[in-house]
Structure 1
Amino acid sequence: MTRLAPCTVGWTPAETRYGSPSAVYPAATRRQLDAVLSGLAARGWKATASPRETALGNDGTCFMASYEKHGWFLHARHAQAPALDHMTVMATEEACYARLTDEERALIED
């Protein structure tokens, strides 16, 4: 994991409502993520697949989107349920993984 740390950049909103069990603003969280993704698209990030939204039972949803640009892959997620409102965005540099040994790759693929 130490050798992979320079390969990845993550972002989660700092506001406490996003990870709080008492989150009550999931629509605002999702709008913020949509704004982030629109901004990325405007800056040349290309979707690698259609964004997808999956039901979490009858009580919530999980939205995921993936993008790429110049050797970087970006994955965005928003999970919303009665006791959860969490958003994350993570970008990973593909070339960084090329420096891993076969043994190191096996550890992260398991």
Structure 2
Amino acid sequence: MMQNAIITITNLRLRTYIGFNDEEQQKKQDVVLNIEIHYPGEKACMNDNVEDALNYKVITKTIIDHVENGRFLLLEKLVSSVLDITTEHHWVTYSRVTIDKPHALRFADSVSLSLSWQKPQ
């Protein structure tokens, strides 16, 4: 039986330079990442072997380093670059990244952008 493992990283709070206004270029802003990564998990489920599981800690550390040390004009570029990191491992079959930019609009909790990727069949 094919078992689709889904890793979900919820509300990863980071700080980065995001935006093109002068103020946004000078000061890091909070961003909140929500990430979903799918991969075939049957071997990990059957064998209980670390080598058969996708290492979400390694992926998350790479994302943290990329976001916190980067500068982005557009939310689209930030989301796209994080999505690229989530799909680097050849096991990944689907990934979705949503990044919220709190305080982006005066009367809204946040503005977010989502992108997804699916491995070609």
User: TM-score, length-normalised on structure 2?
Assistant: 0.26
User: TM-score, length-normalised on structure 1?
Assistant: 0.27
